[in-house]
Structure formats: structure tokens, C-alpha cells
């Protein structure tokens, strides 16, 4: 038996087999036939529901003792008949939101309530989560007759912050609202609000979500500020932020179920299509949240990987990013698409063999092996270059530190280079080296020496909870620091969380076996910090305070560099004049 299909202004409706969705366990054959007959009903385009449809739903609900509902297309055709239990319905999969016509899905839910209750919170969440045209509930009398109707529709963003408008109770025979005109007006209002919004970048509109237990409650604002900067660097327009502190993180949804429903409602009203979590999600958590919200879900690691993919320029850097992405995605392949778990069908595809998921996993592992071999080869070439530099007696200083501490700007100021320096996280991914000429000391000048040549190397910035696969993939970047004679630990003295940044950087240096290399703490942005703070920190830590916006601001660092270079046993002062070639690339 097949449901009828008609053409309408919303397109040609496909013919689909009659199917009763939901909880059909325990229904008699006559109950099933009663529910199937509801598919024959049609609803006028200017009505939310016809009297005949409401009577059919009430009779079926009274006979079964369960809620009964229908999903009605704007053409008036019944697309789904659903049966639940006495208190709720489980709606069928109606497809991704992007399949909807315009702002709304062009479907409305009309269903029964057996206990005389108005619209429930679940009804309103379904209205928002699925972006239905309307949700309506008809009360069922003790004799099986339809009673009053409650209904609601969504509202565009408004000063009152209301998400929907509820109407009713209205006697079922007086449900005469012009549905078609209401939807035209609503879509026009949504379009007007949408056009007035700030134009979203290609990365889209996102909501930021932070969830933590009570032990880390004091870090919420700092964590959100960093996530905000990561999102800005990735080119995402942040339209809202949600935070929740719990006794413990929910193992399935991370957020509590009620809070997640609230996120869905706010995302709908602000037209957000992306949720960015300030934590790493397990594959099952990401899949569960995406299924419940119908939104794209990414975690902190995925956001950082995306930034790295945008900013990698060298072949080495691109290979490292691809390797890290593959290692991240490999355990998540099973959550990407249910079809990946099906056997390839057709002649020659039956019987035992690899599933699509297994094939995808094997190809990913083969690609990982290939990338690791290429990176190993490139690493050998870098080691040869560093060995030549070591034999030449050139002093090497590596810039390390928290991301956006000002390392690239410092490199440019010291060497008169033109390395990209932006007020964004991870502006530098590929290591860059430039030569610096230091004037000789008075004693060296008297001996005829012309000065010292130093190679300054800029490295990728560190960050809290840097993904382990990313650290492993970019180990080659940090190899430049491993062969350095001095590590210049650059710190943003104007950042209120500079102590945490120092701790994070020192911990990562330890993980990379760089703890034994001499280092000098460079407190940058002394001009932006409160007066005297950077200089006090420098004195307390045996470091230097600098302002990279002017050559004079780095003079204390140059003086300390000269001391380190002069005392280095492998380095000897140059006796040739560098004037014709300074500054020059390494």
C-alpha cells in the first residue's frame, strides 16, 4: 500500500510506502489498520489540521491508549504516522536540516495528548531542534473525541529572547488560523533578521561550549577566552557561548541533557550551524551530540588541526598536518557514516570480505605509514643542514613559548626579517631561521674581531592541552630547538595567565627532552603590561624585558645574547666584515 503523492509549490512529493513509525509493539491488526487509514487524510494548505484528521488521531489514540501523531507536509500530504506511549512520541528521522525548504523544514507535527496537558517541553524542543513549521497537540476526551488544541511556532531573534509563540487552547473545530499566510509571514521575518546579521565567513557561525567539573571552575573564563581566540584564528564567527560546571562531565553528551536542549534552541535562534567544544570529545560523544542537535560538532583538537591545515606552507608542514589529521580521524571513521559498515553489494561483492569501514581504515593506515616515511626522509635532510651549521661554529638561538607571545615579531625586530607576524594563534607553523649580526665587545674589537653571527630560529607556539598526535607530528619542528645553544623562552608579560603559559611551555619542553638546554626568559610586550611589571618579572627570573615594536626595545636582549655567545666554547668571533650581506637568510 502506498501513500499518495501530489505536486505543490514546494516541489513534487515522492511516493513512499505506508509505514507506522514508533512503538508498534502490542498493537492489534485492527489498530494497525486504523493507523494506516490516517495516511489517506489530507489537510488544506490554509489549515494547521483538518477536523477530520483531528478526529482520526483522537480515535486511534483512544483505541490504543497511546499518543498518536502525524508529520504533515505543506502540500497537505501525510508523510509519517507515529505511535508512542501514553506520555511521549519518538519522532522518525526526517533528514538533515539542510534538506529543508528555506528557514523551516516544511513539515508540521500534529499529535494527541491523553492527559489533558498543553504542549510539553519535549514538544517545544522538537519544534526547535527539527525547525518544524508548527507543533500542535490535541487533547483526547474520555470518549475518544478531540478536544482543545494547543500549538506553537518558532520566532526569529528578538529583544525579549523568546524562542517560540504558544497559542491555545482552541476548540478543535475552531482551529481556523490561516496556516499558509502565517508561514509566509514567519519566513519573511526570519529572512529579514538573517539579512540584518553580520555576514558569516566561509567557516560559518558557531557556538562555543565549555564544560568542566567543579575542580576547574576557576579556569572557565580563561579557557573560553583562549577558545574564542582559536575560533577567530580559524575564521569562525562566534555568535554565542555556553558554559556549564558540573559535578562530573556527562559520559554521553558531555553537557547535561537539559542544557544540550537549551544549546539547540539558542543555536536555532542565532542561526549557528557549528558547535565548538572546549575539550576533546570521544568519537561516541561527538556522534551522540551531533545526532541529538543536528549540528556539526568539533572539539578543541579538531579546531587546532584546522588552524594548522590553513597555515601550513612548507611541504614538511603540510605532511605533518595531514599525518596528525589522519591519526585523529582513524578511530572516528566508524562514527562518520553508517554506510561505512556495510558490505559492498552486488555480484562479486557478496560473502566474506572487507567492509567499507575496514577498507577506509586500511587506506588511512597505509597513508600514515607513507607520510611517516616521507617525514623521516625530510628529517634526515634537516639533520644534515644542522650538522653543517654546527661544524661552522654558528651560535643558534631558538625562540619558543606560548602561542601568540610575540616570537615572530621578535624575530623580525632582531633580524630585520619579514616573517609573517599576526595577532592570531599559531601564526607560525614552519620553523624559520634568520641570521643576526652582533657587534663585537670592546675587548674583541681590540683584538681585531668583527663580531658574532647568530642564527635565530622561530618555532611553532605551544598551547594548553596540545594534542599528543600533533606534538608527535610536529616533533621535526622542535628538532630545531633541540640543536640550539640557547632557548629564548618568550612570554607575553601583558597576559594575566602568563604563569600558566610558562608552566605549559616548560612542561612541553620537558616532554621534548629539551630541558637541559640553557634558556633565557624573555618577557615580551613590556609596553602593554602594567608599568614596571615586565622588568620586575625579568629581575626575579634572571631574564630580560623587551618591547619588540622598536629596535631600542630589544637592546637588553642583544646584550644578554652577546654574553651567551662570547662564553660559548664552540663559537669564535668572526674577523670578516658582514656589512655587505646583513641581514641575510639562514
Domain's final residue, options 298, 325, 349: 298
C-alpha closest to that of 452 among 442, 443, 441: 441
Residue 442 sits at the vertex; the CA angle it makes with 441 and 448, to the nearest 5 degrees, is 90
Tell me, yes or no, whether 560 lies in a domain. Answer: yes
Instruction: State what percent of residues in the chain have pLDDT above 90.
Output: 30
Tell me, yes or no, whether 351 lies in a domain. Answer: no
Q: Are residues 535 and 398 in the same domain?
A: yes
Cα 479 from Cα 35, distance rounded (Å): 69
Cα 305 from Cα 307, distance rounded (Å): 5
Position of cell 528555506? Answer: 102
Answer yes or no: are the C-beta atoms of 234 and 306 closer than 8 Å: yes
Tens digit of each residue's pLDDT (9 = 90 or more) over 102-120:
468 899 999 999 999 999 9
Cα 278 from Cα 510, distance rounded (Å): 25
On the CB side of 170, how many CA atoms lie within 13 Å of its CA? 18
Position of cell 623521516? Answer: 376
Answer yes or no: are the C-beta atoms of 61 and 112 closer than 8 Å: yes
DSSP string of 259-323, one letter each residue: HHHHHHHHHHHTT--EEEESSPPPHHHHHHHHHHH-SEEE-HHHHHHHHHHHH--SHHHHHHHHH
Q: How many CB atoms lie within 10 A of CB 396?
A: 22
Tell me, yes or no, whether 378 lies in a domain. Answer: no
C-alpha closest to that of 509 among 534, 539, 538, 488: 488
Helix (H) or strand (E) holding 166: strand 164-171
Supply φ then ψ for residue 430, to 5 degrees. -85, 135
Is this prediction's pTM over 0.85?
no
Helix (H) or strand (E) holding 191: helix 179-196
What is residue 443's three-state secondary structure? helix
Q: Are residues 290 and 175 in the same domain?
A: no
What does the chain come to in residues? 586
Compute the mean pLDDT over every residue in the chain, rounded to the nearest whole number: 80
Q: Are residues 254 and 185 in the same domain?
A: no
Answer yes or no: are the C-beta atoms of 256 and 248 closer than 8 Å: no
pLDDT of the residue at 74: 92
Q: Are residues 409 and 509 in the same domain?
A: yes
DSSP string of 11-69, one letter each residue: EEPPP-B--EEE--TT--HHHHHHHHHGGG-B--TT-SS-HHHHHHHHHHHHHHTS-EE
Burial of residue 455, with CB atoms counted within 10 A of its CB: 0-12 exposed, 13-18 middle, 19 or more buried: buried
Position of cell 579557557? Answer: 223
User: Highest-confidence range of 41-55, 258-272, 404-418, 510-524, by mean pLDDT?
Assistant: 41-55
pLDDT of the residue at 447: 65
Neighbour order of strands in the sheet with 296-298? 237-246, 205-213, 274-277, 296-298
Tens digit of each residue's pLDDT (9 = 90 or more) over 43-78:
998 999 999 999 999 999 999 999 999 999 999 999
User: Between 440 and 90, whose confidence is greater?
Assistant: 90
The mean pLDDT value for 380-387 works out to 71
Answer yes or no: are the C-beta atoms of 38 and 70 closer than 8 Å: yes
Tell me, yes or no, whether 123 lies in a domain. Answer: yes
Of 152-156, 226-230, 431-435, 514-518, the least confident: 431-435
Cα 32 from Cα 18, distance rounded (Å): 11
Q: Please, which residues have CB within 8 angstroms of residue 422's CB and are 6 or more apart in sequence?
A: none
Domain's final residue, options 144, 169, 196: 196
What does the block give as the cell for 339?
554506510
Tens digit of each residue's pLDDT (9 = 90 or more) over 279-318:
889 889 998 998 888 888 999 888 888 887 887 777 777 8
Confidence band, pLDDT 50/70/90 cuts, at residue 464: confident
Structural domains in the chain (count): 3
pLDDT of the residue at 268: 77
pLDDT of the residue at 276: 93
- For residue 99, pLDDT over 50 is answered with no
What does the block give as the cell for 89?
512520541
Position of cell 606560548? Answer: 402
Q: Are residues 134 and 249 in the same domain?
A: no
Cα 92 from Cα 544, distance rounded (Å): 64
Q: Are residues 166 and 294 in the same domain?
A: no
Integer distance in angstroms from the first to the last C-alpha of the chain?
Answer: 77
Q: Are residues 459 and 488 in the same domain?
A: yes
CATH number at residue 435: 3.40.50.300
User: Between 159 and 523, whose confidence is greater?
Assistant: 523
Q: Please, which residues have CB within 8 angstroms of residue 165's CB and are 6 or more apart in sequence?
A: 152, 153, 155
User: Between 476 and 114, whose confidence is greater?
Assistant: 114
Q: How many CB atoms lie within 10 A of CB 70?
A: 23
Q: Are residues 226 and 177 in the same domain?
A: no
- For residue 193, pLDDT over 80 is answered with no
Tell me, yes or no, whether 178 lies in a domain. Answer: yes
Range of the domain at 241: 205-298
Tell me, yes or no, whether 192 lies in a domain. Answer: yes
Q: Are residues 421 and 461 in the same domain?
A: yes
What does the block give as the cell for 350?
557478496
Tell me, yes or no, whether 313 lies in a domain. Answer: no
Neighbour order of strands in the sheet with 78-83? 20-22, 78-83, 68-73, 107-113, 135-140, 146-154, 164-171
C-alpha closest to that of 94 among 333, 236, 291: 291
Instruction: Output DSSP code: residue 399.
Output: E
Tell me, yes or no, whether 376 lies in a domain. Answer: no
pLDDT of the residue at 2: 37
Confidence band, pLDDT 50/70/90 cuts, at residue 582: very low
Q: Are residues 132 and 226 in the same domain?
A: no
CATH number at residue 246: 3.40.50.11060
Cα 112 from Cα 172, distance rounded (Å): 12
Confidence band, pLDDT 50/70/90 cuts, at residue 136: very high
pLDDT of the residue at 194: 72
Amino acid at each position: 500500500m502506498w501513500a499518495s503523492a501530489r505536486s505543490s509549490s514546494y516541489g513534487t512529493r515522492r511516493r513512499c510506502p505506508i509505514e507506522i513509525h514508533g512503538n508498534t509493539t502490542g498493537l492489534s491488526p485492527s489498530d494497525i489498520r486504523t493507523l494506516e487509514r490516517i495516511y489517506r487524510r489530507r489537510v488544506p494548505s490554509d489549515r494547521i489540521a483538518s477536523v477530520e484528521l483531528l478526529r482520526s488521531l483522537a480515535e486511534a489514540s483512544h483505541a490504543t491508549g497511546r499518543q498518536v501523531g502525524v508529520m504533515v507536509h505543506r502540500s497537505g500530504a501525510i508523510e509519517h504516522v507515529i505511535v508512542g506511549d501514553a506520555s511521549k512520541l519518538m519522532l522518525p528521522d526526517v533528514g538533515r536540516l539542510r534538506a529543508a525548504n528555506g528557514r523551516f523544514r516544511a513539515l508540521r507535527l500534529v499529535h494527541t495528548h491523553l492527559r489533558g496537558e498543553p504542549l510539553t517541553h519535549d514538544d517545544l524542543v522538537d519544534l526547535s531542534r527539527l525547525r518544524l513549521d508548527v507543533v500542535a497537540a490535541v487533547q483526547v476526551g474520555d470518549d475518544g473525541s478531540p478536544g482543545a488544541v494547543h500549538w506553537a511556532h518558532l520566532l526569529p531573534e528578538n529583544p525579549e529572547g523568546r524562542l517560540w509563540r504558544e497559542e491555545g487552547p482552541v476548540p478543535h473545530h475552531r482551529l481556523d488560523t490561516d496556516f499558509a499566510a502565517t508561514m509566509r509571514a514567519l519566513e519573511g521575518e526570519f529572512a529579514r533578521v538573517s539579512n540584518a546579521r553580520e555576514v558569516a565567513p566561509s567557516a560559518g557561525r558557531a557556538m562555543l561550549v565549555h564544560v568542566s567539573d567543579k575542580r576547574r571552575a576557576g579556569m572557565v573564563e580563561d579557557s573560553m577566552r583562549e577558545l574564542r581566540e582559536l575560533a577567530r584564528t580559524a575564521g569562525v564567527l562566534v555568535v554565542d557561548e555556553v558554559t556549564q560546571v558540573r559535578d562530573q562531565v556527562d559520559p554521553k553528551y558531555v553537557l547535561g541533557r537539559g542544557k544540550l536542549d537549551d544549546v539547540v534552541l539558542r543555536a536555532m535562534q542565532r542561526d549557528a550551524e557549528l558547535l565548538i567544544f572546549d575539550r576533546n570529545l570521544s568519537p561516541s560523544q561527538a556522534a551522540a551530540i551531533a545526532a541529538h542537535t543536528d549540528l556539526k560538532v568539533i572539539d578543541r583538537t579538531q579546531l587546532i588541526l584546522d588552524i594548522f591545515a590553513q597555515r601550513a606552507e612548507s611541504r614538511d608542514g603540510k605532511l605533518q598536518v595531514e599525518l596528525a589529521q589522519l591519526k585523529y580521524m582513524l578511530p572516528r571513521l566508524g562514527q562518520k557514516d553508517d554506510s561505512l559498515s556495510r558490505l559492498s553489494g552486488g555480484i562479486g561483492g557478496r560473502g566474506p570480505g572487507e567492509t567499507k569501514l575496514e577498507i577506509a581504515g586500511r587506506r588511512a593506515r597505509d597513508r600514515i605509514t607513507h607520510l611517516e616515511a616521507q617525514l623521516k626522509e625530510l628529517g634526515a635532510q634537516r639533520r644534515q643542514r644542522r650538522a653543517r651549521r654546527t661544524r661552522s661554529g654558528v651560535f643558534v638561538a631558538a625562540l619558543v613559548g606560548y602561542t601568540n607571545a610575540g616570537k615572530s615579531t621578535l624575530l623580525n625586530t632582531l633580524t630585520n626579517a619579514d616573517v609573517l607576524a599576526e595577532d592570531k594563534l599559531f601564526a607560525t607553523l614552519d620553523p624559520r631561521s634568520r641570521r643576526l649580526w652582533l657587534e663585537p665587545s670592546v675587548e674583541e674589537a681590540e683584538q681585531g674581531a668583527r663580531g658574532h653571527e647568530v642564527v635565530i630560529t622561530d618555532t611553532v607556539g605551544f598551547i594548553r592541552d596540545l594534542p599528543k598526535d600533533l606534538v608527535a607530528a610536529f616533533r621535526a619542528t622542535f628538532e630545531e630547538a633541540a640543536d640550539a645553544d640557547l632557548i629564548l623562552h618568550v612570554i607575553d608579560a601583558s597576559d594575566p595567565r602568563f604563569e600558566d603559559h610558562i608552566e605549559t611551555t616548560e612542561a612541553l619542553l620537558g616532554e621534548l627532552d629539551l630541558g637541559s638546554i640553557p634558556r633565557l626568559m624573555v618577557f615580551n610586550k613590556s609596553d602593554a603590561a602594567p608599568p614596571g611589571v615586565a622588568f620586575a618579572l625579568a629581575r626575579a627570573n634572571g631574564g630580560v624585558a623587551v618591547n619588540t615594536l622598536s629596535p631600542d626595545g630589544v637592546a637588553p636582549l642583544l646584550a644578554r645574547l652577546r654574553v651567551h655567545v662570547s662564553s660559548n666554547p664552540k663559537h669564535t668571533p668572526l674577523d670578516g666584515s658582514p656589512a655587505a650581506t646583513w641581514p641575510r637568510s639562514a
